[in-house]
């Protein structure tokens, strides 16, 4: 991707599925003094954003992601995958060539080599899916330990947001990275419940859905979240 810089990618991710004014966007995020209006204009020129004047105040411009912007946002919102960008680009470029060469070497058939090249195009996608599946499995194996860290942090008097920060610092990847996304999204102004829902969408585990729902209910009703988390630990252990 050559038509968007780092600051613009951060702005794009922070907009998400919302419809915001430039002022609201500036208040929500931290852009280290970058000119938000300039970056918004450049993103609109690159077709990442749609802009329209507010019907109530013609001086106010509201922005939302275009279809192209939403596609990139979904990519940014997906889980971390431990694949270097250069290796991934190399795989996408080399897989069709290697597959075609291997098939031709064995069969000496041009049309079979072409079929091999076509198959090579989809191999990197299959590889990424495999890596993501392995990552989710590792995350699943860290669920109980992650809940223990949350429970201990809450018992020590930390807020839930601070407990997630502790979890990010103490757990190894992928739990530290995924809960780190929750922390970063919360710092950028997203409600903690919404950040947890995004985590649940990325990972898609039933146990994580239980955690997300339990946090929402406990925070909404003022329940004892520490006790709820301890019960979740028992539930997850029984399911294993």
pLDDT at 145 over 90: yes
pLDDT at residue number 167? 94
Ordered DSSP codes for 121-190: HHHHHHHHHHHHHHHHHHHHHTHHHHHHHHHHHHHTT--HHHHHHHHHHHSPTTHHHHHHHHHHHHHTT-
In degrees and rounded to multiples of 5, residue 79 shows phi and psi of -65, 155
**Does residue 113 register a pLDDT over 80?**
yes
Which uninterrupted H or E stretch holds 119? helix 110-141
Q: Is 45 exposed, middle or buried (0-12, 13-18, 19+ CB in 10 A)?
A: exposed
Please report where in the chains the tokens 């290697």 appear, as a residue. 98
Residue 34, pLDDT > 80, answer no
Residue 81 has pLDDT above 60, yes or no: no
pLDDT value at position 141? Answer: 92
Q: What is the pLDDT of residues 161-218, one digit of tens each?
A: 999 999 999 999 889 988 988 888 888 777 888 888 888 888 888 888 888 888 888 7
Task: Scan for tokens 């198959």, then name that residue.
Answer: 119
At residue 194, the pLDDT reads 83
Tell me the pLDDT tens digit for each residue of 38-56.
888 899 999 999 988 777 7
Whether the predicted model's global pTM rises above the 0.75 cut? no
Q: What is the pLDDT of residue 16?
A: 79
Of 61, 75, 57, the residue nearest 16 (C-alpha): 75
The pLDDT, as a whole number, for residue 175 is: 92
């Amino acid at each position: 991707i050559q038509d968007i810089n780092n600051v613009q990618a951060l702005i794009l991710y922070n907009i998400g599925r919302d419809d915001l004014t430039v002022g609201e966007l500036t208040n929500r995020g931290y852009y280290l003094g970058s000119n938000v209006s300039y970056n918004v204009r450049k993103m609109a020129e690159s077709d990442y954003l749609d802009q329209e004047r507010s019907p109530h105040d013609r001086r106010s411009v509201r922005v939302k992601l275009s279809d192209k912007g939403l596609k990139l946002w979904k990519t940014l919102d997906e889980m971390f995958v431990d694949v270097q960008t250069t290796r991934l680009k190399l795989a996408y470029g080399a897989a069709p060539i290697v597959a075609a060469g291997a098939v031709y070497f064995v069969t000496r058939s041009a049309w079979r080599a072409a079929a091999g090249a076509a198959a090579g195009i989809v191999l990197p996608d299959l590889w990424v899916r495999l890596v993501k599946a392995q990552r989710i499995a590792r995350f699943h194996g860290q669920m109980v330990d992650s809940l223990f860290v949350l429970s201990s942090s809450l018992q020590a008097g930390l807020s839930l947001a601070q407990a997630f920060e502790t979890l990010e610092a103490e757990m190894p990847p992928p739990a530290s990275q995924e809960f780190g996304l929750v922390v970063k999204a919360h710092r950028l102004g997203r409600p903690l419940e919404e950040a947890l829902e995004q985590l649940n969408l990325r990972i898609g585990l039933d146990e994580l859905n239980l955690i997300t729902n339990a946090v929402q209910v406990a925070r909404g009703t003022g329940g004892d979240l520490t006790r709820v988390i301890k019960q979740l630990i028992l539930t997850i252990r029984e399911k294993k």
